[in-house]
Amino acid sequence: MTFYFTSMLKLSIKNETGLLKAVVLGTAKSNGPTPKVEDCYDPKSKEHVIAGTYPKVEDMVLEMESVANVFEKYGVQVFRPNQIENYNQIFSRDIGFVIEDKFIRANILPDRDREIDAIQHIIDQMNPENVVSLPQEAHVEGGDVMPWNEYVFVGTYSGEDYADYITARTNMDAVIALQELFPEKMVKSFELRKSNTDAKNNALHLDCCFQPIGTDSAIIHRNGFLVEKEYQFLIDLFGQENVFEITKDEMYAMNSNVFSISPEVIISEKNFTRLNTWLRKQGFTVEEVPYAEISKQEGLLRCSTLPLIRE
């Protein structure tokens, strides 16, 4: 079910797990043909194009509707992008994000600008004073940005070869801009491991190797972090006993890219057997959905959702 509003949207996102009230869910209905290898934005998509296993539109539509059904079950208001013919609009997290009452437009790959235009009808329902565009030199995508109460965690890559990596999406200019925008918060950056060719050694975004869950727990993949002390910061913050460490293969399958409806309820891929078992042992309600086809594009549940309001 899709909801449309005429009244102003009162944006509110303080963390990753507060009770979800409104969200943008991407769409796969007119995803277009299988891309050419040279047009792929990430190594995992490229891998599946070469293997002939790139996901079919009809399968991805069914997977996204399974998530929409979970949102309906929990009374979440769902917005969808306007459809662009033959265009990938699945990963709504990339194109913008909310921190507190501010909607920040992402500075994303130029080829994807049309995705932002397709959610303009949603942006128009926000207070214009709270819609922010970062400076042009600040490259950022929503998958790298995680509000966590007094913190804003940001995945980045600051190597001199930044321009050589199509997988490097968020730079230090964005980290600085976010700190200036939210001076009362601690904006903490994390250097991520990047590869244009090896999906098992590429953390496309921070949520590909880390995500907070509940009120004090997290999922993490150590090798996604280039700097050991930055990984250790998260272990110390959450406590080793509250952290679920995922393997390289589990990171490749996108185990850290689940999505929280509340501190108690998590949407997860049905094949994440080890993770889902652990989550239930910790007392979480796990809503399992099929999402393995979408994961072939190096994105999963968090990537395809853009939360607007959490309580």
Query: What's the whole-number average pLDDT of the chain?
Result: 92
In tens, the pLDDT along 10-45 reads 999 999 999 999 999 999 998 878 888 887 777 788
Q: Does residue 89 lie in a domain region?
A: yes
Q: Does residue 3 lie in a domain region?
A: no
Region class of 168: left (phi > 0), else alpha (psi between -120 and 50), else beta: beta
Looking at residue 196, its pLDDT comes to: 74
Tell me: pLDDT of 72 over 90.
yes
Instruction: Report d(CA 140, CA 129) in Å as an integer.
Output: 20
For 20, the 3-state DSSP assignment is strand
Q: Does residue 93 lie in a domain region?
A: yes
Q: Does residue 56 lie in a domain region?
A: yes
In tens, the pLDDT along 228-243 reads 999 999 999 999 999 9
Tell me: pLDDT of 156 over 60.
yes
The CATH number of whichever domain residue 252 belongs to comes to: 3.75.10.10
- As a whole-number percent, the residues of the chain with pLDDT over 70 amount to 95
Q: Does residue 31 lie in a domain region?
A: yes
pTM of the shown model: 0.92
Q: Exposed, middle or buried by CB within 10 Å (0-12, 13-18, 19+), for 43? A: buried
Q: What domain range is 217 assigned to?
A: 20-310
Q: Does residue 13 lie in a domain region?
A: no
Cβ contact 169:108 at 8 Å: yes
279 or 46, which is more confident? 279
Looking at residue 34, its pLDDT comes to: 87
Residues whose CB is less than 8 angstroms from the CB of residue 6 and which lie 6 or more positions away in sequence, other chains included: 125
In tens, the pLDDT along 115-146 reads 999 999 999 999 999 999 999 999 999 999 99
Both tokens of residue 25? 């869910």
Q: Does residue 196 lie in a domain region?
A: yes
Domain count, the chain: 1
Q: Does residue 272 lie in a domain region?
A: yes
Looking at residue 40, its pLDDT comes to: 77
